[in-house]
Amino acid sequence: MTARIVVGTRNSRLALWQADFVAHRIRERHPHLEIMLKHIVTTGDRLKDVPLAQMGIKGVFTRELEEALLSGEIDLAVHSIKDLPNELPPELALGAIMERADAREALVSPRYRTLEKLPKGARVGVSSLRRKAQLLSLRRDLVITDLRGNIDARITRMDSQNLDAIVLAVAGLQRLGLEEHITAIFPMDSFLPAAGQGAMTIETRRDDKALRNTLSFLHHRETAWAVTAERHFMRVVEEDGQMAAGAWARIEKKALVLDAAILSGDGHTRLQDSISGIPQEAGRLAQTLAHRMLAADDRDVLAAASVASLRKAVHE
């Protein structure tokens, strides 16, 4: 391994915070290394006005970073794990999964203190089908609108788009020092996050064992077990079609506990279940839970409602 490491990152404020955080940790541990940041624009960054549900592209925030890794342009890429596709290119690997921050979702509203206090027909901006479905499962009267862009832009656009509230990840707000905008935090039992939400990972070339050894001090075993469970769950669900789903795993009393929900896009049908077991069997546990949920009696209704909701979103 050379004495210089080139870190690839998107150029949003949150992505730069994350890349700087990783670079700082590496410099602290290995002061002899020169760390350079390289900004890379991804498909998701270029197509800011296209709803994610319409793109039909996996890895819209990571593909160009992975291409730069494969070409040798960069040595590692820093990601929010929730942005990564569940399947990585075979030549790439996760060199470290870092300790997770708060995985919950936050309601941000300038006028209303809780979801329950939003007026009937309130307009709420979200960036994913998962958030839309869970909001509608709690309040069917809400008018959900797509809201893309970085965190600062979404907060600013609440006024310009006449929105009553938006939903953002707690971790992102905390990392950018924007906690004062948090109006309320959704409980996990009714509003599950995206797989890997709140956790960062470092992607490297699989054959770069020296670099992966250098990064090993950043790896957090319990977070890795939890994220493995969540990503395996989503891998099975996504193979079954376009559905809104959330998952949250954690270690409790030395056991891995995974809670998951699968919803129709309109939020009218919701399946929720959990499983627990040995952390080292995270992937198998997640697959068992996913297959069990997809075999439920409501599966056909769920799939049909999801397809109808997706078609509606594409034409809005």
The pLDDT tens digits of the residues spanning 97-124 come to: 999 999 999 999 999 999 999 999 999 9
pLDDT for residue 312: 44
Q: What are the domain boundaries of the chain?
A: 4-98+199-219, 105-185, 228-308
The list of the chain residues with pLDDT below 50 reads 1, 55, 305-316
CA–CA distance, 33 with 215 (Å, rounded to integer): 12
Token reading at 16: 């730069």
pLDDT for residue 3: 87
Token reading at 83: 């942005």
Q: Report the 10 Å Cβ neighbour count for 206.
A: 15
Q: What is the largest CA-CA distance in the chain?
A: 60
- Of 2.40.50.100, 3.30.470.10, 3.40.190.10, 3.30.70.2740, the CATH number of 4-98+199-219 is 3.40.190.10
Contacts of 283 (CB under 8 A, 6+ apart): 228, 229, 232
Buried b (16+ CB within 10 A) or exposed e, 129-155: bbbbbbbbbebeebebbbbbbbbeebb
Tell me whether domains 4-98+199-219 and 105-185 share a fold: yes
Contacts of 205 (CB under 8 A, 6+ apart): 69, 70, 75, 91, 92, 93, 211
Say which residue the tokens 């994220």 belong to. Answer: 227
CA–CA distance, 278 with 253 (Å, rounded to integer): 11
pLDDT for residue 169: 97
pLDDT for residue 240: 59
pLDDT for residue 173: 98
Give the angle subtended at the CA of 83 by the CAs of 53 and 289, to the nearest 5°. 85
First to last CA, the chain: 50
Say which residue the tokens 């891998």 belong to. Answer: 235
Q: Which of 75, 83, 146, 164 is catalytic?
A: 83
Report the CATH fold assignment for 228-308. Double Stranded RNA Binding Domain (3.30.160)
pLDDT for residue 311: 40
Which CATH architecture describes the domain 105-185?
3-Layer(aba) Sandwich (3.40)
CA–CA distance, 66 with 59 (Å, rounded to integer): 9
Contacts of 259 (CB under 8 A, 6+ apart): 188, 189, 192, 247, 248, 249, 272, 273, 274
Q: Please indicate, yes or no, whether the overall pTM of this predicted structure exceeds 0.85.
A: yes
Annotation marks residue 102 as catalytic: no
pLDDT for residue 148: 83
